[in-house]
Chains A and B, each alone.
Chain A
Amino acid sequence: MKFDKNKNEDKNIEILKKEIKKTNTKYSKVLIDLLFSPTTSEEFRIRIKDSISAHIENEIKN
C-alpha cells in the first residue's frame, strides 16, 4: 500500500479501503464498516469487540 502525499486524504483513505478489501478475509467487511465511521477510538474499540465476539461465537456454532 502506498499513500500519495499529493493526493488529498479522502483519496488516500480509499487506497486503504481497497487494500483491506483485497485481503478478502471474513473480517475485512467488519473492519471497513466500523473503521471509517465517525466514532472515537474508544467507541470503535467497543463496537469491534462486540462485532468480532458475535462473529466468533457464530463461527463456533457452525
Chain B
Amino acid sequence: MKAYFIKSIQIEGFRGINNNSSPLKIIFKPNGVTSIFGENGKGKSSIFEAFVFAILGRIIRFDDYHSDIKDRNSIKNLFHASDGKIKIEFINELNNVIEIDILVDANGERTVNSTSVSNPNLFLATLCNKLNFLDHKSFEKIIISSAEDTGKLFSNLVGFSKFIDIKEKLDKISRTQNINTDFNRSQKEKSIIENEKKITQLIEQIKEKLESVDVTINSYDKLMVLEIVKKFINKSYGQKIKKVTIDSNINFDLLIRNKVGLNYEADVSKLTELRNTLNNTLSLSKSVKSFNSKTVNSLSDKLKIAYLEIESDADILLGKLYEKAIDSYDKISEVDKNNCILCDTTSLNKNEQTFYDQIKNKIKLFNKFKSKYSVFYNLLVNKIEVSQIKTIEKLYANDDEKIFSELKIEAVFFSKDFFESNNIQTLISAYVQKIEISKANLLLAISELNKKLPPKLSEFIELNNVYKSIFDLIVEIDNLQISNNRNTKYLFELESWTKFIGEVKDSYENSYNILMDEIALNIDSDTKSFFKDIMGNVEITPKLKKDNRGQKVNILLEKFYSNTSELRAAPILSESYRNALSLSIYFASALRSKSLGNFIILDDITSSFDSGHQIHLLELIKRKICISSTNKKGKQIIFLTHDGLLKKLLNENGALKDWQHYVLNSNKDIVSISPLKSDDLKLNITHKINSGNYLGSDFRMYYEFVLLEIIEKLDLEVPFSLIYNNDTKMVSKLSNAIHEIIELKRLSRKAKSVFLRLPNKSDFKSYVQQLTNNLSHWGSGREISLSTPVLNKIIDDIDDFKKQFQYNCTCPAKNIGWVYFNSLSSPKHKGCNCSI
C-alpha cells in the first residue's frame, strides 16, 4: 500500500468560509511543508476543521463540549445558501490521485462521494485517524495522560491500534474471574465437592440400611448393591429383573400392593402415615424440651437488664411520645430556642436543665432501652424458632394459651415480669405433657394397626421399605455421580481451553511487548533529541519508560538540573517545557506511524513558546519532521499559524524549495490565499518606508527573501544545510553560495546564453558589497537616519540585483513582464519566444 499525501483542498460553505460559488482552493506541497499564516478571524481554524471533518467526520473540539452546546448546525456556514462543500485531492507516491467530495448539510451531517474510489468512506476510515491532526489542545493532553493512555497513543501513532484491540480481547477472555463467571467454573467445582460429600453420606446410609437386614458390605459397589436388591425382589415377589440397572425403575409400592392385596392397602397406608406423624411428634417433643428453665431464666435476665435504665413502664410510653415531639420541634428550624418556653430554665425549679434537655435525656434513655430490648427480642425469636414453639402452639395450644405465635416487635413492649406473669415454664410443661399424650396415642394406634396386619406381613412391609430406601439411595447416588462426571468432563475441556488461550495470550503479549519495547526505545531516543532541538541545551532530559509488561508508558525526567533520580515530568515542568516535551513525543511517534495518510496537519502549536523557541520548533520541523529529499521518512506537514512572531521566518521559508507559504486574506464573505512573492514583500516594505514605520530588519528580510527566491526559482544546487540556516550572516552566505554555483557552472563549460546575462565575478562582488554595506547600518545596531529616497534606493538596488536573474517576457500570448530564468541550463519558460 502506498502512502497518501494531500494535494489540494477546496472549501465552500464550511464553518467561517462562505466563498459562495468561489471555493477557497489551496494547493499543498506533497513532499514538504505548506505553511498558512492567518490572523485571527481569517479562516485558519476553519481550514483545519475542514480537514478533520472531511476525513474523520468529526469536530475535535466538540469532544470537550457539553452536549447542550454541541450545535452541529454551526458546522455548515450559516450564510451559505446551499450545502457546504469540501473537496480533497490525495496523491500517492505513484502519482495516483484520489478525489473525495464531502457535502455538509444544515444539520452538520456529512455525505462522502468519490469518482476515484468505489468506497470513499472506507478509504477515509483506513487512511488515518485523529492523530494525523494536532492542535494545541490535543498535544497538551499527551503529557498529562495516564501511562496506559500514553502507551495506547504510541500504539495508535505507530499504526498498531488493532493490536490494542487484540490485547484487550485476549485479556478479557483469559481473565480467571471472567472464565469463572462465563463458564460457571467455581460453581461446577463446588458442586463436585458437595456431591462427593453427599455421596459419602448416602453410602453410609445404604450400609446402615443393609445392616438392618443383616447384610454387611465393606465398600460401596453399585452393581453389587443392586444385585442384593434384585435378590430380594426375586425372592419376595418372584419377579426376575434381567437388567440390573437403575433404569429398571423398580416400583416397590406397586410390588407390595400386588403382594398384600387390596384389603390391606388402606391399613398399610395408614400405618405409614401414623409412623410419619409419630416421627414428627418425637421431634417436637425433643425441641420443646430444649426450651428449658435455663433458657427461660437467661431470657428473663436479659429482659430485666433492658428495663434497669428506665423507671417505669410509663417512661417507655412517654419516651415514645417525646421522641415524636422532639423530632417535630427540631424540624422547625426558625424557632428561636433562647426565647422558647421549652428551653427556659426559670420555669423549672428542680434543676438547671431546660425542659427541652430533660426530654432529650428521656429519649436517650428510651433509645438505650430500645437497643437492649432489641437484643432480647432477637434471642427470644431465635429460641422460639429453634424449639418449634410456634408449630407446637398451632397443633396443641388453645387460643388462650398462644403467646409466642402472637409476638411482634411492634407490639407494646413486654413488661419486665413477662416471663413470671405468663408463667412460661408452666406453659412449656403443659406443651410437653400434651405432646407426650399425643405420642402415647400414636404408639397405641400403630400397635393396634400392627395387630390387625399379619405379623409376617407387617415385617415384610418393613423389609420392603428398607429395600425401597436402598434402591432410592442408589438412584440418588447415581444421579449425583452422573452430574459429577459431566461437570468433571466440562472442567477438563474448559481447562484445555484455558490453557490454550493462556498460551496464545502469553505468546502474543511477549511478542507485543518486545515490539513495543523496541518502538518505545526509538521514540525515547528521538524524543530526547527533539526536546533538545526545541529547548536548546537545557539541563533537562526526558525519558519514556515503558513498563516491563503491559503497554503503560511513563513520561519521566531522567535529569532535571542537578537531580538525576527519575521524576514525573508533568508536575515539575513549566508550560513551555511541557509543550516542548509533548510535541517531541508526538513527532517522535508520528514519524513511526504506519498510517496510510502520510501527513500531519498542525494548528497553532507554537502559541505557548517565545520567539526563540518558535524558531527552534520550526527548524526542527524543517530538518527532521518534514519529508524531503534528505528525510524520506518524514511526513508532509501542513502548518497553520496566527503567530505574528513567525511571520518573517515563514515568509523566508516560503522561498525554499520544500516549503510553500500562503497568507490568508478575508474580505467579508470571501476567504482567499496568496503565495508570498518578493514583489508582495516589496510592496509591504515600500508602504512602511513611505509611512515611516519601517524596521531595519525589513530590508534584511527582503534581501534574504530575494536570495532564497533566486535559489528556488533557478533551482540552484545550494547545499541543503546552508538553506536551512538562520544565522545573522545568512545574507552573505547565500550570496556567496549563488555566486559559487554560477562560477562552477561557468567553469564546467555548461555555459548557456544565460551566463552572458548573469553578473561576472567582479560585478557580483560589487553588487553584494553594495547591498551588504546598505544593510550593515542595521547589522551594527546603529540608529538610522536615512531619508525616504535613500531607503527606496536600497530597495531598488536589491531589485537591480534580482533582475540579473530575470528576463522581461514580452511574448504576445503571455506578456508576463519580468520573470526569473527557468534554470541556468534552460532559461526561458516553456513556449516563450523572447530573446534573452
Contacts and interface: CB of A to CB of B under 8 A. Distances in A.
Interface string B511-534: 110110011000000000000000
Interface in B159-191: 159-163, 165-166, 168-173, 178, 182-183
B490 A56 contact: yes
Interface residues of A, number: 32
A27 to B, nearest CB: 5
B486 interface: yes
A45 B168 CA distance: 10
A1 B515 contact: no
B818 interface: no
Interface in A1-48: 1-5, 8-10, 12-13, 16, 19-20, 23, 25, 27-28, 31, 35-36, 41-42, 44-45, 48
B497 A35 contact: no
B1 interface: yes
A24 B365 CA distance: 76
B501 interface: yes
B503 A23 contact: yes
9 contacts: A5-B519, A9-B160, A9-B161, A9-B594, A19-B507, A23-B504, A25-B500, A31-B500, A41-B172
B401 interface: no
B331 interface: no
Contacts of A49: 182-183
Given A16-B511, A35-B169, 9 more contacts: A5-B515, A5-B592, A16-B166, A27-B497, A27-B500, A31-B501, A41-B172, A55-B493, A60-B489
Contacts of B519: 5
Contacts of B159: 8-9
Contacts of B178: 45
B508 A1 contact: yes
Contact of B493 (A3, A19, A36, A59): A59
A19 B510 CA distance: 13
A12 B162 CA distance: 10
A44 B594 contact: no
Given A9-B161, A45-B173, A56 B494 contact: yes
A49 to B, nearest CB: 4
B504 A52 contact: no
Given A1-B508, A8-B594, A23 B500 contact: yes
Given A49-B183, A60-B493, A9 B163 contact: yes
Contacts of A42: 172
Contacts of B169: 35, 41, 44-45
A49 B183 CA distance: 7
Contacts of A5: 158, 515, 518-519, 592
A53 B172 CA distance: 16
Nearest to A19: B507
Contacts of B501: 27, 31
Contacts of A56: 183, 490, 493-494, 497
Contacts of A44: 169, 172-173
Contacts of B161: 9
